[in-house]
Structure 1
Amino acid sequence: MNCVEFRRHLGADPQSNAVEFVRHRAECPRCADAAGRAVEFDRNLLRALNIEAPAQLADSILLAQATDERRRRVTLRRRGTIFAVAASLALAIGLFGMRVDAKPLSTLAVDHLSAEPFALATTAPIPDTDVRNAFAKRGVALDKVPAGVSYVQCCPVGRYLSVHMVMPEQDGPVTVLYVTNDIAKQRQDFVRGGWLGRSVPMGHGTLVLLAKSSSKFDHVEAVWSEAFATAPANGRG
């Protein structure tokens, strides 16, 4: 069991006694710390829920039932106001979503990386078939897979669809995001939130690289450029 599998299992059952789960917890300090926090959260939640029913609960229920008809009449009178408020709220949410979507891909990529820091902890290479399958889900038939991919998932990045990968390098891991429903206008280096980045139009999408050091960007870009040079056209976004 690797760190990603452990975190998924932890989210489903923090108290699990599965052999692989227990073994990984004993071998990985970071995952053991995460498991400890999850167990403590469960304990606090149980304590919070262990509350005796108030002595006047039955009276309160009867009172609520007795006033239900009055509330129903008030609700009918206010329905027009509620609809107006709901419409305003929907408009506000829509405008907020437009502002979120207005973020550039580079910013959305850094935000996504910050939400999945555990991906950077994986270092063991994964099978090429896992990478091909992830790209296939995005409509890309990838024949050649660069060596050294240690993590892959199909992830939404804001309004974009991507294949999220990690490639461990000597100077630190390089996050590789291949966005299938956007093509960058030009190759560009950037700095966002303490991360160095590069976006490159490649194939029928955009390759985004993120790392603390850009020393391996040229190499990683080259191996993926070679991989896409042999890839057939996209079937879908």
Structure 2
Amino acid sequence: MDELEFRRRIMSDPKERDGDIVEAIKADSANGKFAEDVLELDAHIAKAMAVDVPEDLVDRILFHQTSHSESNVIRPTFAKRAMATAASIAFVFGLLVGQVNWGNIVLPPAHASIEDIAIKHVMAEKPFVTGIDENVPSSQINAKMMPFDHQFEVNFPYHVYYLNHCGFGDTNALHMVFQGEKGKVTLFFTSMPSKQTVDFEQQGMAGVVEPIGNTSLILVGEDGENVANIAENIANIIKPMS
């Protein structure tokens, strides 16, 4: 299922979760985020449409009809005003769903640090990549590396469970999940530059940012994973494309 078909189906029924939809969500984290955002908007719209009906509404309608027969002046009823307001809210939300780039909303803003972006991205996408094992070959990894003008000069030395491109702050990144020395490690390779190597620990995870020319290699693993050692091994086999 392509992205347009996925978005069309989610927009038509935000609660739909058949086999194709579930597979599309697992295959691309952006799809999962989009589905969650549309579902949340659907809940907001439903709340906006849930207008409390006044107890004297019938009397007001009858009074309006009586008054209408005596005057040609048309005055909006409470119910009409309420429905118009709800419809306006629904219309605005519909425009937002169609026009806003949700990937840039759910990810941290551009001024956030690389390590903050990486941690939040890992936390957000963890439910969608857990249990996936695509057994990605090195040839496919290098194909995904091409937009960043870098390649692995030898086969990637770890088993790769998941591989894709993703939004990363205000740019894009290669997103990979592979088997580290103790557990699964998430790798981001992005054109966002970094000035120096940075080790960090957040939310029970350990990470490292390794500058490679004008690009950055970011690894995030479980606490206790020697991500610095893995980053050094990987950085040594990444070379600029000639």
Say whether the 8 Å CA contact 1:171–1:213 is kept in structure 2: no
Amino acid aligned to 2:214 = H
Does structure 1 residue 162 correspond to structure 2 residue 165? no
Cα distance change on mapping 1:218 and 1:111 into 2, 3 Å: closer
Does structure 1 residue 14 correspond to structure 2 residue 23? no
Taking structure 2 as the reference length, the TM-score comes to 0.53
Does structure 1 residue 106 correspond to structure 2 residue 115? yes
Does structure 1 residue 202 correspond to structure 2 residue 222? no
Say whether the 8 Å CA contact 1:132–1:141 is kept in structure 2: yes
1:191, distance to aligned residue in structure 2 (A): 1.2
1:226, distance to aligned residue in structure 2 (A): 2.5
Deviations 1:149-172 (A, max 9, x none): 221111111123211111113411
Other-structure match for 1:29: none
Separation in structure 1 between the aligned mates of residue 180 and residue 152 of structure 2, nearest angstrom = 22
Say whether the 8 Å CA contact 2:151–2:238 is kept in structure 1: no
Say whether the 8 Å CA contact 1:131–1:145 is kept in structure 2: no
1:228, distance to aligned residue in structure 2 (A): 1.2
Residue 219 of structure 2 aligns to a residue whose secondary structure is: strand
Cα distance change on mapping 1:187 and 1:170 into 2, 3 Å: closer
Q: How many correspondences in the alignment?
A: 161
Structure 1, unpaired ranges of 5+: 1-7, 22-37, 49-53, 69-95
Say whether the 8 Å CA contact 2:180–2:230 is kept in structure 1: no
Cα distance change on mapping 1:16 and 1:106 into 2, 3 Å: closer
Separation in structure 1 between the aligned mates of residue 236 and residue 241 of structure 2, nearest angstrom = 13
Taking structure 1 as the reference length, the TM-score comes to 0.54
Cα distance change on mapping 1:214 and 1:188 into 2, 3 Å: farther
Separation in structure 1 between the aligned mates of residue 221 and residue 229 of structure 2, nearest angstrom = 13
Q: List aligned pairs for 1:117-132, cutoff 5 A.
A: 117=126, 118-132=128-142
Cα distance change on mapping 1:141 and 1:198 into 2, 3 Å: closer
> Pick from 124, 127, 149: which aligns with 1:115?
124
Say whether the 8 Å CA contact 2:149–2:241 is kept in structure 1: no
> Pick from 221, 227, 236: which aligns with 2:237?
227
1:203, distance to aligned residue in structure 2 (A): 4.1
Amino acid aligned to 1:195 = M
Residue 236 of structure 2 aligns to a residue whose secondary structure is: helix
Separation in structure 2 between the aligned mates of residue 138 and residue 15 of structure 1, nearest angstrom = 35
Amino acid aligned to 2:135 = P
1:16, distance to aligned residue in structure 2 (A): 3.9
Residue 146 of structure 2 aligns to a residue whose secondary structure is: helix
> Pick from 144, 152, 164: which aligns with 1:153?
164
Separation in structure 1 between the aligned mates of residue 132 and residue 233 of structure 2, nearest angstrom = 20
